[in-house]
Amino acid sequence: MSSVIVMQLRYAFRLYPDTGQRIALSRAFGCARVVFNDAVRAREDARKAEQPFPKAGELSTRLITQAKRTAERSWLGEVSAVVLQQSLRDAETAYRNFFASLKGTRKGPKTGPPRFESRKDARQSIRFTANARWNITDSGRLNLPKIGAVKVTWSRTLPTIPTSVTVIKDAAGRYFASFVIDTDPAADATRMPATDRTIGIDLGLTHFAVLSDGTKIDSPRFLRRAEKKLKKAQRELSRTQKGSKNREKARLEVARAHAKVTDARREFHHQLSTRLISENQGIAVEDLSVAGPARTRLAKSVHDAGWSSFVSMLQYKAERYGRTLVKIGRFEPTSQTCSTCGVKDGPKPLDVREWTCAACGTVHDRDHNAAINVKTAAGLAVSACGAPVRPGAFPAQREETGSHGFPTEPRAA
């Protein structure tokens, strides 16, 4: 009996709470933060006393049920109990990730121990699961327990009933509702047009991407274009007095300017990745290391391009829509090898954008040649006899899409 593969995605929509709802949300953010910090403190106290870590059930009883009966924590009863329980789960997950990182069983960079949250943190969030009895009203408002029916701007229809909703307040003071949706990749794959095309992608700074078919996609350079406005806003912020109302206004201006850049970059990545997934059955890309270039004089341009975010979008969309994504090793000499005869011609300085192969005399555009080699190295290229040049491509690895980024879906799929 075959099991149905379920993939989780997030759909984010802008919220517009009124004054009373903003106060209620602020109260909920604060209560969730206090419970999280109490859980971290209880774990740290147990560690210092060389005692076993308290279990989740024990923490729930002590930090929520019993705490509500005390004068110091009686105000915890003013918010939904589900929000407090989810905050404890977040602390539990943070410790689990930390210990997995110490053991080396968790992928990615090392994760530090959970830290205490602050009311001054740029991002505040609370989560409501199905048992919190939240719902979407007939008028299209999001009805949250002990908060009320909040106005939502719906940019599209939710494909299925959400399993949970996270309410987020970002650094720019904007509110969002992020819904978790369970989707079936097999059903989603039928929405994509049938195609046998394959493509190799060379990501860079001169052009954001050059494709193996010769297409060049310019880099929008969102951060570079907004630098003048950002510098002015940051200069105004530096001139204000700490703790003053003017400083908070100036901080919001800086945050909104950065949010505008981030939103524009994300939208560009979504549109391009959706287009590439729609038009191609197989996609090859280099497994780039951003950490190295991010420590050089090219750091600002590297971060402005957002390669990692773009490749992550390609990965989860390939999995969702039944496409194939292949990542080749970052040390593959794609810029040194002639895509015509296969002779390795050696490394070249970055300012060399065009070169001639010494073996066969073919004149190469550096990035186009690299994109062709990326496709060949991934096994997506086909030889004259019709056989793959390398072994077949493998499906993109599955991961819980949408749990770290926000929002994770394009506005128009």
pLDDT tens, residue order, the chain (413 aa): 445 577 889 999 999 999 999 999 999 999 999 999 999 999 999 999 999 989 989 999 999 999 999 999 999 999 999 999 999 999 999 999 999 999 989 887 888 999 999 998 989 999 999 999 999 999 999 999 999 999 999 999 998 899 999 999 999 999 999 999 998 888 888 888 889 999 999 998 889 999 999 999 999 999 999 999 999 999 999 999 998 999 999 999 999 999 999 999 999 999 999 999 999 999 999 987 777 777 778 888 888 899 999 999 999 999 999 999 999 988 888 888 888 888 888 888 878 888 888 888 888 888 999 999 999 988 875 433 333 433 333 333 333 333 333 434 433 33
pLDDT at 4: 59
Give the pair of three-digit tokens for residue 113. Answer: 């121990």
pLDDT at 387: 38
What's the one-letter identity of residue 385? C
Say how far apart CA 172 and CA 273 lie, in whole Å: 27
pLDDT at 33: 97
Of 202, 253, 304, 319, which is the active-site residue? 202
What's the one-letter identity of residue 26? S
Say how far apart CA 393 and CA 281 lie, in whole Å: 11
pLDDT at 107: 84
Active site residue 188: no
Q: Is the dihedral of CA 190, 193, 195, 197 positive or negative?
A: negative
Burial class (CB in 10 A: 0-12, 13-18, 19+), 129: middle
List of residues 6+ apart from 91 with CB closer than 8 A: 36, 39, 40, 43, 114
- Helix (H) or strand (E) holding 87, with range, is helix 81-103
List of residues 6+ apart from 249 with CB closer than 8 A: none
Of 286, 304, 319, 345, which is the active-site residue? 286
The SS3 of residue 163 is coil
List of residues 6+ apart from 117 with CB closer than 8 A: 33, 36, 37
244 DSSP 8-state letter: S
Active site residue 400: no
Active site residue 182: no
pLDDT at 383: 36
- What CA–CA distances, in Å, run from 247 to 6, 85, 403? 46, 35, 33
pTM of the model: 0.84
Say how far apart CA 149 and CA 71 lie, in whole Å: 30
Of 117, 188, 304, 367, which is the active-site residue? 367
User: Is the peptide bond between 407 and the residue preceding it cis, with omega within 30 degrees of 0?
Assistant: yes
Q: Cβ distance 152 to 13 under 8 Å?
A: yes
Residue among 147, 143, 144, 181 nearest 161 (CA)? 181
Backbone φ and ψ for 140, nearest 5 degrees, come out as 90, 15
